[in-house]
Structures are given as C-alpha cells and as structure tokens.
Amino acid sequence: MSPSNAMNIERFQRRKTHRVRIGSIEIGGDCPIAVQSMTNTPTADTAASVAQIERIADAGAPIVRLTAQGRKEGENFAEIVPRLRRDGYATAIVADIHFVPEIAMIAADYVDKVRINPGNYRTDNGRLEELIAKCRQRGVALRIGVNHGSLARHIVDKWGDTPQGMVASAMEFLRICAKEHFDQAVVSMKSSNTRVMVHAYRLLVEAMEAEGMDYPVHLGVTEAGNGIEGRIKSAVGIGALLADGIGDTVRVSLTEAPENEVPVAQSLVAYFTERKGCFRVNHPERYSPFEYRRRTNAAYVVHDEITADYDVVTAVSENPTAEWRAAILNADTLRPTVIRRRYDDADFTTLVVKAAADMGSLLLDGLADGVCIDAPQHSPELLREAELMILQAARVRMSHTEYIACPSCGRTLYDIETTLAQIKARTSHLKGLKIGVMGCIVNGPGEMADADYGYVGSSAGHITLYRGREVVARNIPQEQALERLTELIKADGRWQE
C-alpha cells in the first residue's frame, strides 16, 4: 500500500514475478508457491544425504538444499544427484555456498540451483560473472541469499546491519545479473529478527520495482527454533509477507528433523493461496510498510488483559490482515487496539500457525496493541501462551526465554536438536533472555547478534560462548559448555531460581 494515495483498497494479490526453472520445477509467475527444506547430514556422506533428501521429498518438498562448505562437498554432488535420480526422485537440488566462491563453480556442474551469500563474495573480480556464465550454460538457477548476520564489510560500514544494508547488498548482485541479462535468479533476505526480515523484504521489492526488476523471492525466518515457538515465529514473519503477496518459494527453518519443516510450510502456503475480501482505507498516511511506526504507547496485551482502554477489532473475512489494517486506519481515534479472530481448528498447531500468520503483520507494523484468539476448542491458558508467543515473535513483548536456534545443516558441529532441548530444560524458566544456539560460525555470531548469550559450535566437540557479541570462552569441550553457560548467566545476575 502506498501511503501517498488519498484512498486505497486493501486486497490480496500476489506480486508479479517472472518464472525461474529449478531442475524439474518452476517458481515465480503464476506457478504455485514452492516449499523447500535443507539437509543436516554431511554432504560428503552420499548415502546419508540421499536418504534424507528422499525423506524430505516424500514429505512434499520439491526443492532440497545441501551445504557445500569445501571442495569435497562440492564435488560429491556428482555422486548424490545421480543416485537420487536412479532412485526415481526428480527433486531439485540446491548447493549452499559460504566463504569459498570456487566451490560454487564446482557445484554448478551438478546441481539445479546454487545459493551464494553476498557477504562472502566480491563483485569486482569477475567471479560472479563467471558463475553466471556457468549457470547459463547448464540451465542452473542462482539464489542471491542475503543474511542479516553476515553482510559484507563495505555494506556494514555504509549502512550498518540494517534492512537498508541488506537491500543494498542484494541489489548490488541483482544489478550484475541484470547487466548479464541473466533472469534465472532468486533473491532472499533472511534474518532471525522478524521485524528486520519483513521490512528488508518490503524494501527489496520496492527497490526492484524502481529498477524494473521482477525476480522471484524466497522467504524464510532464520534460526526460528523448534516446537510451537519456532512455528509461530516462522508464521509471523513469513505470513506477514505472504499477506502482502510477496513470496514465490518458502522454507520454514526449524531445529528439528528437516522433514518436519515441510508440513508447516505447506500449511502456510495453502493458507495464503487465496484471500477474499477488499477493504477501503481512508487514512493510508497513518501507515508505512517500510518502517516501524507505533500508533500508541499502550502496553501490549493478550485476551485476559484487555481493559476498557482498548478497542477490540474483530476480523470475520477470509482476508483478516487486510480487514484489520483497513479498520484500524479508518478509525476516527488512535485508541489502543486489540485484534481478534475466531478459529475453529481442532489441531492446536494448525490454529496457532494461522493466528500468527494473520496477526503478525499488524504487530510488526505498530498498528495493533494486543491479540485475542477466540478458539472455544482450546483452553484459555493454552491460548494465552500462544498469544504471548505471537507478541514475542513480533518483537513487541518479551515474556519468556527466546531461543535463536539454527535448524542445522551439514556444517553443524554437534547434535543441535538434543543440545537445544538440554539448554531449554535448564533455562526456559528465565524471563526476558535471548539465547542463541548455533551450529557453526558461518552465520552464528551475526544472526544471534542481539542475543544476550550465545552457544556456538567452533570445532568438532567444542563450543564458544558469547555474551552479546563478546566472546567469553573459546573452544570449551561440549560436555562442559552447558554448565559454563549457566555459570555465565548466574555471574551476570540474570538467573532466577
């Protein structure tokens, strides 16, 4: 929505993009939004990687990404892809490249798409043009995958680690793709902070439109964690963008078995396939999708905290996000507002994913001051916890420990799923803390930059602990790391019994 218009109509409409072929499937254009996931097996282990790809594909994901951190992993795609095809799987295979641009050239000989991180690449040495030429020759797609936690130094020096910096990083690479007349590119803007992530994507779309670009977009919230919290955090970020019509392919990143990500992503995509309802907006100047602009100074509330000071706006249409936004922007006064909707889903996970996807955008944009989930099939206590999780995922109210946990991949140096469960068991009673649990140093220190404490794999069997961005202890044996983390929190006076 453009704030400069005197009147607008809120409706659901997918952003127009061009098609990109990734192996046997296409994304963009009028193609359905594609779901994908990523393996966490060592890419050098052919049998384990193929078996996990097949489990992910059987769960319903047509695109699977594998890390290729070194030459051995890059060259092993020559074994993985043929074996997968012999097993009858047409799954599109993506190589994920960090730090070593040469590996992208190797992997491009075998895979269907190569993902590169602009933070690890340069644009002044011709290597990107060489990769584009290789991709064009073989019909390989390219993902320009910007990560909030690993922006290039020259970007950070000029823009800081901001949404604007993420956009500048992406556009630098997309302009080279355009100069080379290479349209088989996809772009992503991932962050563990949902507010940063959503605003970066919106700014990116605006920047692309200003330069006549219509590249497809891949959506994802990095380091979302696990369980209900991870699903809610993913739904808040991804749902806000899907409601805007942005997104051609989606990954939900969970610190669980990768095949568990697929049904969550599928449910989000299905929920936004069509949203009926158009709503007139009389005061678009009150809202900017490109910056956080809080309407009131009220406290953020859940259903059992609503007082007479709050107006309750109930959505009844199939397009609740647009309905709420129009109603709030059309109100005569700027009173604190709670958004409410009824959900009749018997499955609690399905319910909270839908509610988070519907409500997250209003919280991220500063338009709503509370949430109320009306779901008679579930207890008020359970719904209250879900509402608090939605507020926390939108970064407006911290009520419990937040875990910024990566989903793991072939670079992960320890069993992160088990470790996260152990850390949660020891620390979940703490209030208002953010703890990063990261598999390796590729994005770890950057993506958890706003965490209070960090637990990062540094080498096989060893962990480095952080306080904020400060390294506190390097290469601790993993069997000692949880106790050392606990001691660090206690020493800082932030432990509650």
Q: Maximum CA pair distance of the chain?
A: 65
pLDDT of residue 101: 87
pLDDT above 70 coverage of the chain, percent: 95
27, amino acid identity: I
CA torsion through residues 118, 124, 127, 128, sign: positive
The pLDDT confidence band at residue 103, using thresholds 50, 70 and 90, is very high
Q: For the chain, what is the mean pLDDT?
A: 91
pLDDT over 90 at 432, yes or no: no
CATH class of the domain comprising 14-271:
alpha beta
- Length of the chain as a residue count: 497
415 — pLDDT class (breaks 50, 70, 90): confident
- Predicted confidence at residue 396, as pLDDT, reads 95
Give the mean pLDDT of 257-271: 96
| Integer Rg of the chain from CA | 22
| The pLDDT value given to residue 408 | 63
Query: What's the mean pLDDT in 253-276?
Result: 94
Positive or negative, the Cα torsion across 67, 72, 75, 78?
negative
Domain with CATH 3.30.413.10 in the chain: 402-491
pLDDT average, residue stretch 247-266? 94
pLDDT of residue 425: 87
pLDDT of residue 122: 82
Give me the pLDDT at residue 2, please: 40
pLDDT of residue 411: 63
Look at residue 203 in the predicted model and tell me its pLDDT. Answer: 97
The three-state secondary structure class of 357 is helix
Specify the higher pLDDT residue, 486 or 438. Answer: 486
pLDDT of residue 1: 40
Q: What is the pLDDT of residue 3?
A: 39
Six-digit token string for 208: 């692309």
What is the rounded CA–CA span in Å between residue 346 and residue 339? 21
Q: Sorting pLDDT into bands at 50, 70 and 90, what band is 445?
A: low
Residue 6 in this model has a pLDDT that exceeds 60: no
CA-closest candidate to residue 248, choices 275, 276, 218: 218
Mutual orientation of helices 320-330 and 348-364 as an angle, nearest 10°? 30
Q: Can you give the pTM of this predicted structure?
A: 0.91
When pLDDT is averaged across residues 263-291 and rounded to a whole number, the result is 90
For 42-56, 427-441, 477-491, which range has the lowest pLDDT when averaged over its residues? Answer: 427-441
Q: How confident is the model at residue 282 (pLDDT cuts 50, 70, 90)?
A: confident
Residue spans in the chain of domains classed CATH 3.20.20.20: 14-271
Strand-strand pairing, 8-10 and 279-281: antiparallel
Do the beta carbons of residue 477 and residue 469 sit within 8 Å? no
Look up residue 451 and give its two tokens: 């965490």
Closest CA relative to residue 321, chosen from 359, 371, 292: 359
Q: Minimum mean pLDDT among 67-81, 130-144, 164-178, 472-486: which range?
A: 472-486
Question: Is a pLDDT exceeding 70 seen at residue 388?
Answer: yes
Residue-level pLDDT at 447: 64
Regarding the domain delimited by 402-491, which CATH topology (the fold level of the hierarchy) does it fall under? Sulfite Reductase Hemoprotein; domain 1 (3.30.413)
pLDDT-derived band at 444 (thresholds 50, 70, 90) equals: low
Arithmetic mean of pLDDT, 198-217: 97
- Above 60 in pLDDT, residue 218? yes
